[in-house]
Amino acid sequence: MRRALLALAAIGISTVHALTGQWACADELCLTATRDNGIDTYTLQPVADIPHSHFGWMAVGWGAQMIGSPMVIVWPNEDGTFTLSQRQAIHHQEPPLVASPPRTATLESDLSWSNDTSTSITFTMPSNSDNTTSFIWALSNTNPANSDPGANLIEHTWRGVIFASMEADWTGNRIQMSSKFDTHSPANTKSGKASFALIAHITCGVLATMMVLPGGVVVPRITRGLTTSNWWFRFHQISQGICAIALIAAGFGIALRFGGELDSTHRKTGVALFALTIVQILLGLFAHYYTPGWRVRRFVFETKRGRGPSNFLHVIMGVIIVAVGWSTCWTGLTDEWHRRGHGIPKNGFRIGWGMIIMLWIAAYFLGIIFLLPRQLRIESKQRDEMRKYENNEVYRNSAVALANEYYMEERGVKVFSPTSDMHQLSPEVHGNGNDLPRSPTHSQYTFQSYPRSPETSPSQLNISSFGNSSSTYFGHFAAPGAPAPPNPSRPEGLDGGSVEHDPPATNLSANLSAVTIPITLAPSKAVSPPPPPRPPRQHNWNLMKNKI
Ligand SMILES: *[C@@H]1O[C@H](CO)[C@@H](O)[C@H](O)[C@H]1NC(C)=O
Ligand SMILES: *[C@@H]1O[C@H](CO)[C@@H](O)[C@H](O)[C@H]1NC(C)=O
């Protein structure tokens, strides 16, 4: 009798509480929510098949937003078990465990599965009186790798809102929700693999940080010790100023599309890399094109080569940027890869990263140890040549002042070249009966020299020459007798350098009176007044444009 009553009651209850509920799907997750006999049963399963290796966790919450909604989070473990964790978010952060939830959920291990095809997890909880409920849901590709319900969770890859009516008659039909409440990461495909955008981001990032940035530093470091050509500077400009910034900007732009917050080391170092690279390019342009005036240079240091503080800052920043780039690459391949749900990164990534940076570091330090001294030697030799050249210039100017019509050819071609004025002068014989053979066509010119400095009196310098009026003359200087040749003051620029070994101008006439020297007459050229001597420091700045 009692048993019959119980059976009746059971039939009665089952007729009153027929199976109700809905099967609702968002873009990435389906929720099957049924109510039967005071028990609500929920099944969570991703829409696209996600193999166990890429499966993270799934969550459903009662409410329309994350904060304040009770949640059930489930995930499969390596050992084939499942973990159920009831949590509630206080902030937009990882929700903490709730000790005594309003309704306690029970995992249905027999109905749950996870294998190479996909994962489906079912749990039950006591019914409440709600009919139509909005559910928040989330899905992550990163497994907590821990069966403890309080395990640390890495942020969801997708999330959204689903509506399901617990009291609607169960039809078994799938209801597709509008995806307007869903957000997802463009870095992941639905099955958790790397999207095309992510592959492009990785390609740009790896090329920029592992190849172009260190290459633009190391290759010039080596070539500058091997050759004096400016080839390295063009290379540096193109590699860093065009290729590196283009790749970094492209990688950064793609990363912005991935959305989310600045919540990982990779994202922070990536932003730093982008900002530092832009600052560095501006600094490089500044160091190269801006020549500080004397007002500024009084207050800053400057090397012999004309390198100022901006050059050294540029080098230090460059080394920092390369390091930030390597760290961005490392965190992207390790932490970020896992964090955004692409599974456990393969060891090959780490090994490849380590090998590449070891090669760059070795090349750079070998360059510093063996080639930097050589480069400095080459530069110092160049400075010496520069100084000689400048001295030559001063000497030439003095010579012009000394002999008016004569000037020295540049770069140590030590011949006197008469100018056009010479031919206008009347030939006036001043032969002093020296023993040189004379050609019948010989002629003598007298030149008036103007004083180089006020204390030198005007005097006369005679030259006897013969030959054709066009090309090469053989002639000699002769002291005219009464008025002594000028005794010019020593030019300032004559200290040091090879030109000093030439016979000083004072003894010119005396020594040369007996010697025949070849004189090349240059085609008519007007004597230009000697340019004012430039300060050597300035010259260094102009010469040494490509400094670092
Ligand atoms: C995974 O389990 C589901 C449900 O039991 C099954 O339908 C599917 O064939 C399984 N896949 C594999 C690869 O075992
Ligand atoms: C629950 O909601 C569904 C759809 O909104 C509706 O069809 C059904 O009648 C409701 N049931 C109850 C008991 O209110």
Pocket test for ligand 2, best of 16, 40, 131 (most atoms within 8 A of CB): 131
Report CA(157)–ligand 1 centroid distance (Å): 24
Decide if pLDDT at 229 tops 50. yes
Closest listed ligand to the CA of 112: 1
Report the distance separating Cα 69 and Cα 201, nearest Å.
Answer: 35
| pLDDT of the residue at 509 | 43
- Same topology between domain 19-176 and domain 196-388: no
CA of 132 to the centre of ligand 2 (A): 7
Please tell me the distance from the alpha carbon of residue 243 to that of residue 255, in angstroms, as a whole number: 18
- How many residues are given for the chain? 548
State in Å: Cα 213 to ligand 2 middle.
Answer: 63
How far apart are the CA of 115 and the centre of ligand 1, in A? 6
CB distance 420 to 406 below 8 Å: no
Report which of 524, 515, 428, 431 is spatially closest to residue 470, judged by C-alpha positions.
Answer: 524
Cα–ligand 2 centroid distance for 10 (angstroms): 24
C-alpha 283/C-alpha 315 separation (Å) is 10
Q: What is the pLDDT of residue 532?
A: 60
Confidence of residue 89 (pLDDT cuts 50, 70, 90): confident
26 alpha carbon – ligand 2 mean position (Å): 21
Q: What residue segments make up the domains of the chain, in order of their start?
A: 19-176, 196-388, 392-525
From 45, 49, 115, give the residue whose CB has the most ligand 1 atoms within 8 Å, as the site to mutate. Answer: 115
- Taking the CA of residue 116 as reference, the ligand 1 atom at the shortest distance is 13
Widest CA span in the chain: 165
- Asked whether residue 391 carries a pLDDT value surpassing 80, the answer given is no
Residue 503 has a pLDDT of 43
CA 396–ligand 2 middle distance (angstroms): 107
Give the range among 142-156, 410-424, 505-519 with minimum mean pLDDT.
Answer: 410-424
Local confidence band at 11 (pLDDT 50, 70, 90 cut-offs):
very low
pLDDT of residue 123: 95
Query: How far away, in angstroms, is 459 Cα from ligand 2 center?
Result: 124
Average confidence score pLDDT of the chain = 73
Residue with structure tokens 């000083």? 504
Question: Which ligand 2 atom minimizes the distance to the CA of 132?
Answer: 2
Proximal ligand: closest to the CA of 120: 1
Which protein residue has the closest C-alpha to ligand 1 atom 14?
Answer: 115
Residue 536 has pLDDT above 70, yes or no: no
The CATH code of domain 19-176 reads 2.60.40.1210
Q: To test the ligand 2 pocket, which listed residue (17, 40, 127, 132) has its Cβ within 8 A of the most ligand atoms?
A: 132
Predicted local distance difference test score (pLDDT) of residue 396? 53
The percentage of the chain sitting over the pLDDT mark of 70, rounded to a whole number, equals 63
Contacts 24+ apart (CB under 8 A), 464-471: 464/430, 464/431, 464/434, 464/436, 464/438, 465/519, 466/438, 466/439, 466/441, 466/442, 467/439, 467/441, 467/442, 468/441, 469/423, 469/521, 470/521, 471/520, 471/521
pLDDT at position 399 over 70: no
How far is it, in rounded angstroms, from Cα 27 to Cα 157? 13
Q: Considering only CA atoms, which residue is closest to atom 9 of ligand 1? A: 117
Q: How far is CA 68 from CA 165, 357, 513, 526, in A?
A: 21, 47, 111, 94
The Cα 320–Cα 272 span in angstroms is: 11
Centroid of ligand 1 to alpha carbon of 57 (angstroms) = 18
pLDDT band, very low/low/confident/very high, at 480 (cuts 50, 70, 90): very low
Q: What is the pLDDT of residue 186?
A: 73
pLDDT tens digits, one per residue of 96-148:
888 888 899 999 999 999 998 999 999 999 998 888 788 999 888 888 888 99
Residues in contact with ligand 2 by the CB-under-6-Å rule are 131-132, 165, 167-168
Ligand lying closest to the C-alpha of residue 167: 2
Ligand closest to Cα of 110 equals 1
Residue 117 CA, ligand 1 centroid: distance in Å: 6
Q: Which ligand is nearest to the CA of 118?
A: 1
Query: What mean pLDDT is predicted for residues 233-247?
Result: 92
Residue nearest to atom 14 of ligand 2 (CA): 131
pLDDT of residue 458: 43
pLDDT digits (tens, 9 = 90+) for 352-384: 999 999 999 999 999 888 888 888 888 888 778
Q: Check pLDDT > 70 for residue 254.
A: yes
pLDDT for the residue 177: 81
Which of ligand 2's atoms lies nearest the C-alpha of 166? 1
- Residue type at position 323: A
Between the CA of 179 and the centroid of ligand 1 the distance, in Å, is 28
For the CA of 131, the nearest atom of ligand 2: 1
Task: Report strand pairing: 20-25 vs 174-176.
Answer: parallel
Closest C-alpha to ligand 2, atom 8: 168
What type of residue sits at position 179? S
| Rounded Cα distance, 520 and 515, in Å | 16
Q: Counting ligands in written order, which one lies closest to the CA of residue 80?
A: 1
Which bound ligand lies closest to the C-alpha atom of 22? 2
Residues whose beta carbon lies within 6 Å of some atom of ligand 1: 113, 115-117
For position 216, what pLDDT does the model report? 92
Whether pLDDT at 529 is above 80 = no
- Residue having the nearest C-alpha atom to atom 8 of ligand 1: 117
Question: Under a CB-based contact definition with an 8 Å cutoff, are residues 374 and 190 in contact?
Answer: no
Residue among 400, 398, 468, 462 at smallest CA distance from 431: 462
The CATH architecture of the domain made up of 196-388 is Up-down Bundle (1.20)
pLDDT at position 492 over 80: no
Q: What's the CA-to-centroid distance between 394 and ligand 1, angstroms?
A: 93
CA 29 to centroid of ligand 1, rounded, Å: 18
Report CA-CA distances (Å) from 94 to 83, 135, 161, 225, 236: 17, 18, 18, 55, 45
Would you say 324 and 269 are in contact if contact means Cβ atoms under 8 Å apart? yes
pLDDT at 101: 87
Report the C-alpha gap between 268 and 422 in whole angstroms. Answer: 77
Average pLDDT over residues 512-516: 46
HSE (CB half, 13 Å, CA atoms) of 267?
14
